[in-house]
């Protein structure tokens, strides 16, 4: 078992011991999404048109909710020092934590969203698009959010600051995610959008672990 | 009998560190080698933690050099570094794995026994008292095969039996060739320990007996 | 003695600034006067847009200099992280608010220009969206650098942010080429040379120069202030 796997499994185990934390995030997602049909009215055509955007925006906010604790608990109990001292690459450690975060946040959101999409009157193809775009796009959100979390460790108003930093950086992913869902609804192919979502994810994977590691080292100093 | 660990050595030259915008010490020079214990003493704010963190590469030095040779460092910080929702045994186990080392069950059990934690091995750390947590953190250090221990206030929150346990474990570590540097208010009471006192402003480190 | 190390470069900067600022201020004032007269009075009205084209003389330079300002912010960030240059941190703190202001001017003038030209104050196309992102990146930098009790920590965190966000600048520049946007394509910096008539191109280029001078002047002034602020904080800590 490598250090990466050990950290990944440790974080998963920690979440499993406090399942309430995950449930709260998913519950928020459900509640936030349901607000829109309630607020806008039951007109099916309108709901179907905004479904993609609403689901994506709500998923983004839900993911952000849980990101604040990503590095904060290690920072507060001193475990971050041990991560900084570990012989392996800090970049991998950051990646392991983001991966664990995605498994318990992004992945469930991607699976839950199509169920909510039904209440918006989306058809089968659109529901599949919702799930697929979120599956491909949420890893990027975990990475960007991870960077924002690492940058704001120990800062004042870290929650609001995290959102201020992460949301603008997440905008491209949001745009192409919702664009893909729209493209399916209008009958055009969505391959281009998915390809760009995947490219964004790869770019994030190739750059953000280094930025996160740099930010974590600053936090340790 | 475990194979002997390679000996670590440390050489510090003209070290200066800042904290929060002011210089806490400068011109610090000393060396430590296997089998030696160096106690860092001084008032609060004299830079003991800053020095220790700089030695561990957790903090940055302003100038000077820190040269380690053959060192595998185990760190005990001001905070325990334990995850509250994991048990005592799990914490020590995962800490070793994060260092890229396959945990040795016998060492783990021996470390737990030295700090009287065997009965608590399956308890989540968040249910323990401060002293019990500190002992868990010390057991983590003791069960690792590191040859250089950096300890920040290891005696904190320890009652008399626990302090005795720490001294015994330290003595064993030193006897097998390991080195230890400990920042401490209280006296470590280990024979042969060298003391480095950090003063208030421009401390020039003088090694005393 | 502890502050001597800190003052090494900022002191040199202060001497440099004291020599340069008076001349720079006069040059900038002259450039502004000439530029405004040229752009608002001499340059001919556009045959399609009429007088409203004159907003372009504010909008384009503001937006261009804002993007250049972000590049400066990223370079300063790299210089701080790699070389621990003390002046880089202070200049970055000075640059971000100026950059944010220029971006805001670009956004507002663009919006005002958009209404008569395309019939809308705003549209979510690639260029406008990425330019708005630039504004938020500046705001994030300002907030992050000041979010810590230890100013060094804030400076370094903000530097990382500046570097990560740098990808946005080429996106803004090339967004009008990569996507069909409502915003018009490049007319100056393009292969084949500019497509604008010289009677409008030259005052535009002059205004770009003016805005650049203005940016530099404001950044130098603010950096000077940041040095004083940091000195004051250091003195308070030592007391």
Domain-by-domain residue ranges, chain A? 3-220
Nearest CA-CA distance, residue C77 and chain B, Å: 18
The count of C-alpha atoms lying within 13 angstroms of the C-alpha of B139, restricted to the half-sphere facing its C-beta, is 33
pLDDT at position C190, please?
67
pLDDT at position B3, please?
56
Q: What ipTM score was computed for the predicted complex, to two decimals?
A: 0.90
Burial (CB count within 10 angstroms: exposed 0-12, middle 13-18, buried 19+), residue B25? buried
Give CA–CA dist C230/B21, Å, rounded: 10
Nearest CA-CA distance, residue A10 and chain B, Å: 7
**Contact call for residues C195 and A186 (beta carbons, < 8 A):** no
More confident residue, C192 or B181: B181
C233: chain B residues, CB-CB within 8 Å: 21
Residue A204 confidence (pLDDT) above 70? yes
Give CA–CA dist B21/A125, Å, rounded: 59
pLDDT at position B206, please?
42
Residue A198 confidence (pLDDT) above 90? yes
Nearest CA-CA distance, residue C201 and chain A, Å: 33
pLDDT at position A221, please?
82
pLDDT at position C239, please?
65
**Which positions ≥6 away from C148 have C-beta within 8 Å?**
A154, A155, A156, C154, C157
Q: Is the dihedral of CA B130, B123, B188, B26 positive or negative?
A: negative
Secondary structure of C186-233 as H, E, C letters = CCCCCCCCCCCCHHHHHHHHHHHHHHHHHHHHHHHHHHHHHHHHHHHH
Q: What is the pTM of this model?
A: 0.90
pLDDT at position B2, please?
53
User: pLDDT-derived band of residue C185, with 50, 70 and 90 as boundaries?
Assistant: confident
Residue A90 confidence (pLDDT) above 60? yes
pLDDT at position B58, please?
92
User: pLDDT-derived band of residue C48, with 50, 70 and 90 as boundaries?
Assistant: confident
In a domain, C110, yes or no: yes
User: pLDDT-derived band of residue A17, with 50, 70 and 90 as boundaries?
Assistant: very high
Residues of C near A (Cβ–Cβ under 8 Å) read 81, 129, 133, 136-137, 139-140, 143-144, 147-149, 153-154, 156-157, 160-161, 163-165, 167
pLDDT tens digits, residue range B55-79? 999 988 888 999 999 889 999 999 9
Of B25-29, C52-56, C180-184, which gets the smallest average pLDDT? C180-184
Look-up: residue for tokens 């003088």? B206
Taking the Cβ of residue B59 and every Cβ of chain C, the question of whether any pair is shorter than 8 Å is answered with no
For C33, the domain range is 22-41+49-234
Give CA–CA dist C93/A207, Å, rounded: 25
Q: How large is the average pLDDT for residues C48-75?
A: 90
Burial (CB count within 10 angstroms: exposed 0-12, middle 13-18, buried 19+), residue A218? buried
Closest CA to C202 of C50, C29, C62, C57: C57
Nearest CA-CA distance, residue A148 and chain B, Å: 21
Low-confidence ranges of chain B (pLDDT < 70): 1-5, 200-209
In a domain, C6, yes or no: no
Mutate to test the interface with C, among B16, B18, B19, B21 (most CBs of C within 10 A): B21
pLDDT at position B205, please?
44
pLDDT tens digits, residue range A164-187? 999 999 999 999 999 999 999 888
Of C51-55, C209-213, C220-224, which gets the smallest average pLDDT? C51-55
pLDDT at position B209, please?
31
**Contact call for residues A149 and A94 (beta carbons, < 8 A):** no
- The percent of chain C in helix, strand and coil, each rounded to the nearest 5, is 80, 0, 20
Chain mean pLDDT for chain C = 87
C152: chain B residues, CB-CB within 8 Å: 21
Nearest CA-CA distance, residue A21 and chain B, Å: 13
C150: chain B residues, CB-CB within 8 Å: 20-21
**Which positions ≥6 away from B43 have C-beta within 8 Å?**
B200
Residue C5 confidence (pLDDT) above 80? no
Which stretch of DSSP H or E encloses residue B69? strand B63-69
pLDDT at position B197, please?
85
B62 to C150: CB separation less than 8 angstroms, yes or no: no
B83 to A10: CB separation less than 8 angstroms, yes or no: yes
pLDDT at position C192, please?
64
Taking the Cβ of residue B27 and every Cβ of chain C, the question of whether any pair is shorter than 8 Å is answered with no
pLDDT at position A88, please?
87
pLDDT at position A57, please?
95
pLDDT at position B191, please?
75
% of chain A exceeding 90 in pLDDT: 79
Beta-strand relationship, B63-69 and B9-19: antiparallel
pLDDT at position B188, please?
76
**How many folded domains does chain C comprise?**
1
B22 to C2: CB separation less than 8 angstroms, yes or no: yes
């Amino acid at each position: 078992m490598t250090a990466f796997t050990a950290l990944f499994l440790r974080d998963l185990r920690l979440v499993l011991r406090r399942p309430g934390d995950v449930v709260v995030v998913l519950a928020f997602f459900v509640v936030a999404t349901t607000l829109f049909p309630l607020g806008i009215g039951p007109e099916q055509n309108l709901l179907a048109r905004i479904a993609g955007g609403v689901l994506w925006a709500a998923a983004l906010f839900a993911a952000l909710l849980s990101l604040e604790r990503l590095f904060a608990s290690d920072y507060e109990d001193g475990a971050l020092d041990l991560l900084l001292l570990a012989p392996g690459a800090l970049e991998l450690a950051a990646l392991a934590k983001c991966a664990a975060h995605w498994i318990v946040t992004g992945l469930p959101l991607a699976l839950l969203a199509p169920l909510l999409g039904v209440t918006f009157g989306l058809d089968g193809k659109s529901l599949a698009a919702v799930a697929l775009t979120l599956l491909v796009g949420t890893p990027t959100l975990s990475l960007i959010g991870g960077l924002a979390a690492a940058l704001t460790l120990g800062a004042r108003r870290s929650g609001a600051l995290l959102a201020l930093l992460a949301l603008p950086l997440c905008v491209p992913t949001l745009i192409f995610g919702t664009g893909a869902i729209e493209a399916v609804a209008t009958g055009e192919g969505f391959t281009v959008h998915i390809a760009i979502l995947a490219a964004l994810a790869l770019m994030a994977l190739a750059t953000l672990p280094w930025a996160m590691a740099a930010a974590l080292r600053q936090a340790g100093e | 009998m475990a194979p002997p660990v390679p000996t670590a050595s440390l050489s510090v030259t003209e070290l200066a560190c800042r904290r929060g915008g002011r210089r806490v010490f400068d011109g610090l020079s000393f060396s430590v080698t296997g089998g030696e214990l160096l106690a860092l003493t001084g008032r609060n704010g004299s830079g003991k933690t800053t020095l220790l963190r700089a030695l561990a590469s957790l903090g940055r030095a302003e100038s000077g050099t820190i040269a380690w040779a053959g060192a595998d460092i185990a760190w005990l910080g001001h905070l325990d570094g334990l995850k509250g929702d994991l048990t005592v045994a799990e914490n020590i186990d995962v800490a070793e794995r994060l260092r890229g080392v396959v945990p040795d069950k016998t060492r783990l059990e021996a470390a737990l026994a030295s700090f009287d934690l065997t009965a608590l091995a399956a308890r989540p750390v968040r249910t323990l008292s401060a002293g019990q947590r500190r002992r868990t953190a010390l057991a983590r250090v003791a069960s690792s095969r590191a040859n250089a221990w950096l300890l920040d206030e290891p005696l904190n929150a320890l009652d008399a039996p626990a302090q005795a346990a720490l001294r015994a474990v330290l003595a064993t570590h030193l006897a097998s060739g390991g080195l230890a540097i400990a920042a401490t208010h209280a006296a470590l009471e280990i024979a042969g320990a060298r003391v480095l006192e950090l003063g208030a402003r421009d401390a020039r480190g003088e090694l005393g007996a | 003695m502890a502050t001597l190390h800190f003052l090494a470069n900022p002191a040199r900067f202060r001497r440099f600034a004291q020599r340069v600022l008076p001349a720079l201020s006069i040059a900038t004032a002259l450039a502004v006067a000439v530029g405004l007269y040229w752009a608002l009075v001499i340059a001919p009205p556009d045959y399609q847009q009429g007088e409203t084209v004159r907003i372009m003389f504010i909008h384009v330079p503001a937006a261009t200099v804002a993007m250049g300002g972000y590049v400066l912010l990223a370079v300063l960030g790299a210089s701080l992280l790699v070389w621990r240059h003390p002046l880089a941190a202070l200049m970055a703190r000075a640059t971000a608010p100026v950059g944010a202001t220029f971006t805001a001017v670009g956004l507002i003038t663009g919006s005002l220009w958009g209404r008569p030209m395309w019939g809308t104050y705003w549209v979510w196309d690639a260029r406008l969206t990425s330019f708005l992102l630039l504004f938020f990146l500046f705001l994030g930098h300002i907030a992050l650098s000041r979010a810590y009790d230890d100013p060094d920590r804030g400076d370094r965190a903000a530097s990382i942010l500046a570097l990560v966000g740098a990808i946005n600048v080429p996106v803004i520049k090339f967004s009008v080429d990569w996507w069909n946007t409502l915003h018009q394509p490049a007319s100056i910096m393009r292969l084949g040379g500019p497509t604008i008539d010289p009677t409008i191109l030259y005052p535009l280029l002059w205004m770009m120069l003016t805005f650049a001078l203005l940016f530099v002047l404001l950044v130098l002034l603010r950096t000077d202030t940041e040095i004083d602020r940091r000195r004051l904080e250091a003195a308070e800590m030592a007391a």
